[in-house]
Amino acid sequence: MPNLYTKAYEQSINDPDCFWGKIAQDCHWYKKWDKVLDDSNKPFYRWFTGGEVNTCYNAVDLHVDNGMGEQDAIIYDSPVTDTIQKYTYLQLKDQVAKFAGILASKGVGKGDRVIIYMPMIPQAVFAMLACARIGAVHSVVFGGFAANELATRINDAKPKVIVSASCGIEIKKVIQYKPLLDQAIELSDYKPDACIIFQRPQAKASMIGGRDFDWEEAMTTAFPHDCVPVKATDPLYILYTSGTTGQPKGVVRDNGGHMVALKWTMGAIYGVDKGDVYWAASDIGWVVGHSYIVYGPLLKGCTTIIFEGKPVGTPDASVFWRIISQHKVKTLFTAPTAFRAIKREDSKAQLMEKFDLSCFNYLFLAGERLDPDTLFWAQNALNVPVIDHWWQTETGWAIAANCVGLHQFDIKPGSPTKPVPGWKMTVLGDDGNPIIAGEIGAIVAKLPLPPGTLPTLWQNDQRYVDSYLKAFPGYYETSDAGFIDEDGYVFVMARTDDIINVAGHRLSTGGMEEVIAEHPDVAECAVMGVEDQLKGQIPLGMMVLNAGVIRDHAEVVKEVIALVRNKIGPVAAFKTAIVVKRLPKTRSGKILRGTMRSIADKKRYKVPATIDDYSILDEIEESLGKIGYGSKG
């Protein structure tokens, strides 16, 4: 007898109109859709065309109207400021409606963009929902991102208003945001009409008259704004992918499909219902924060936790257990990096023993490959299902997962289990043809993608096609390589491009190379992702200096590291670089990054037949050995 997963999956692939149309009835619509799936303009598929909705109404007002106004919507837990604040759905509605009124008073309306550059505080969520309330398009930029990176996003999104805070807090260090924001606006060609700044007590931001406005002062006279109906196909937000330089890549999310898919995933994938406490320990600057700190839990009527802290150091490796116990968390979603950090500090999980975790049902991990050691450690320590799942900024929610709300499959270490309903996955060879089970190739998704995924890139349809659809016509290219076994389990093995995964953050090695190459002493360079026990991968740079440079190599390395930090930001985690005499290349001039990565990771590798000089590999191995990498370390 087929289980609920099998029934759901088969219908989602064979009759997507019926499958998603029924699910969509669980949401509020001002006007019902004309078509569930509109394929009239392939490959630009649209979901729920003709429908009119408001995401904020579904995430906030609907619950108040349904008698849930006194339920907690948000729990703000900030060990770095020793603060816990709770907001009911009624209080959330009040804050969001007022801030929506402030945005409207600054000229923000339907379709206008608002950049949000904030730390993990409730006001960031209020701002996101306020944009959705009036039909504006928000673009959240990770708080503390370097000024030039913020500037490129300002130029691309062209926001009428930027919302920010005076500072963020990294454990005990106060990071002033306003100077970075001011510098970004100075660097950008496009200038916003206004900035709204939330002043935190840890740092007071200087204000520019006529442009900058104080959040708290504005809220005292704000007039609440009602929800504005928008088309289901209208954009809800733009989220720029990490590590871009030059022209950023803005992933677009629509209102209708996003709302329908995310609300459904809360029960189907994560096993939670309205009233449950759900915690995604991430940041609103990343897609996880958008989908599962803000929209998913609130659409479902859950209580969501906004955590301003770290898995260790705020104050120690017990903070996750304290929050789960204190706030009665049912499901936690975080990155494997967090658990590797906890394991490093408390390998026997002794700090867990003083907390009552009987409320806790599931641990979900994503953002990077889940190594078996971390999986088994978490399983043994928590004694609950530990579930790996796989998705991307572009997809907005899981491609493959053990959908505990439908049917819980046996876990296979290294696999995020099976494709989620809506995702028809296959593995293709270089020739574009499917390959047999167990063989490694390019993992792709058959078009159309399910609702809630990216319909295109912001104002760049052609780049959307070129980036995701061109390599394998009729499919979405995930840029991940792996295989699907005979049981239908997906195994994601590696990236197929130059994106590396640092603690769940996708970063471009090519972008880092562009920055390093700006240093006047650097002739050429290569950056690759090498294995790291804590972060999964970290970038390692190799540089060849210009002829005649006689400076201390350590000084050059120090300057290059500072340059990457300034241009891309600390999120790059670029801390290791070496100077080498030359880089191994093919005769055609292609740098052998994969070979160098294998040497650094102490893995066997096949020497390419086209290498121009075999002796360089011994030199590279010796250089890496001096800093603890490679077999000669």
> What digits encode the pLDDT tens for the residues 213-233?
999 999 999 999 999 999 999
Specify the pTM. 0.84
Per the model's pLDDT, the better-predicted residue between 100 and 491 turns out to be: 100
Nearest to residue 283, comparing CAs of 170, 412, 413, 414?
170
Residue 245 has pLDDT above 70, yes or no: no
Cβ 509 vs Cβ 529: under 8 Å: yes
- Per-residue confidence band for 274, with pLDDT thresholds at 50, 70 and 90: very high
Q: Is the pLDDT of residue 586 over 70?
A: no
Checking if the pLDDT of 244 tops 50, the result is: no
**Residue 306: how many CA atoms within 13 Å on its side-chain side?**
25
Banded pLDDT at 161 (limits 50, 70, 90)? very high
pLDDT bracket for residue 242 (50, 70, 90): low
Return the pLDDT at 167.
Answer: 97
Q: How many CB atoms lie within 10 A of CB 232?
A: 28
**Count of CB atoms situated within 10 Å of the CB of 343:** 22
Q: Which of 139-153, 484-498, 569-583 has the highest mean pLDDT?
A: 139-153
Q: What backbone phi and psi angles, to 5 degrees, belong to 401?
A: -165, 160
* Model pLDDT, residue 39: 97
Structure confidence at residue 194 (pLDDT): 98
**In angstroms, rounded to a whole number, what is the distance separating the alpha carbons of residues 143 and 366?**
21
- Among the residue ranges 37-41, 307-311, 530-534, the one predicted with the least confidence is 530-534
pLDDT at 560 over 70: yes
Distance CA(468)–CA(85), nearest Å, equals 42
Strands 329-334 and 362-365: parallel
pLDDT at 1 over 70: no
Is the separation of the CB atoms in 482 and 440 below 8 Å?
yes
Domain ranges of the chain: 23-309, 503-625
Inter-CA distances, 32 with 11, 56, 376, Å: 22, 17, 47
| Sign (positive or negative) of CA dihedral 444, 445, 448, 452 | negative
Q: 503-625, what's its fold?
A: GMP Synthetase; Chain A, domain 3 (3.30.300)
Q: Which fold has domain 23-309?
A: Rossmann fold (3.40.50)
d(CA 163, CA 223): 18
Which tokens go with 632? 């000669």
Quick: pLDDT tens for 409-427.
Answer: 999 988 999 999 999 999 9
Contact 184, 154 (CB under 8 A): yes
Name the band, by pLDDT with cuts 50, 70 and 90, for residue 633.
very low
- Side by side, the strands of the sheet bearing 329-334 are 83-88, 72-78, 303-307, 277-280, 329-334, 362-365, 386-388
Q: Which residue has the higher pLDDT, 271 or 521?
A: 271
Task: Judge whether residue 605 has pLDDT over 90.
Answer: no
227-236, 321-330, 498-507: least confident range: 498-507
What mean pLDDT is predicted for residues 308-324?
96
3-state helix, strand, coil in the chain (%, to 5): 30, 25, 40
Residue 89 · residue 73 · CB < 8 Å: yes
Pick from 5-9, 500-504, 506-510, 607-611 the range whose average pLDDT is largest.
5-9
